[in-house]
Amino acid sequence: MEPKTTLTITAFFGLIFSLAMFVAPEFITREQFPDAEGQGFADLVSVRYAIASLILALVIITFHLRNIEGIAFQASIMRGYSLAFSVVCITTLVLQILGKISAAPPILGTGIVAVLSFFSWRRLTKDPGKN
């Protein structure tokens, strides 16, 4: 897959997650932490806004990285995205398995981005003459 396409898909997924957290932070918090109550729940909702702004910042950076030229730069970016989203996916998956959170959408989203980034990176490093 082309790096520009991968980064566009990544930005789109991130935008969906960020908007969801900005629009419905209470719903998302209740889904992930169904037993939270009182001040603890309010604090988790506040953290949701902070996470949403961080995701939005990554979306904006990702969208602007789409236009980077040069195989070495693109390969480095794709390798970084592959590693970063793999870490987030694995962490979220472990928290899901341990019963700490309910997080199927983030696991799926970060997993897809990690796989797409990996394949884009491998394509750039295996056959740099075609890019």
Q: Where are the domains of the chain?
A: 3-130
Integer Cα distance of 60 and 11 in angstroms: 7
- Please state the pTM of the whole predicted model: 0.81
119/1 Cα distance (integer angstroms): 7
Q: Give me the chain's average pLDDT, please.
A: 92
Residue 103 pLDDT level (bands cut at 50, 70, 90): confident
The answer on pLDDT for 130 being more than 60 is no
pLDDT of residue 127: 72
pLDDT category of residue 44 using cuts at 50, 70 and 90 = very high
% of the chain with per-residue pLDDT over 90: 81
**Residue 131 pLDDT greater than 80, yes or no:** no
CA 79, 100, 48: angle at the middle one, nearest 5?
70
* Six-digit token string for 17: 């997650």
Q: Answer whether residue 128 shows pLDDT above 80.
A: no
CB hemisphere CA count around 63 (13 angstroms)? 11
Check pLDDT > 70 for residue 129. no
Answer whether residue 17 shows pLDDT above 60.
Answer: yes
Tell me the residue type at 52.
A
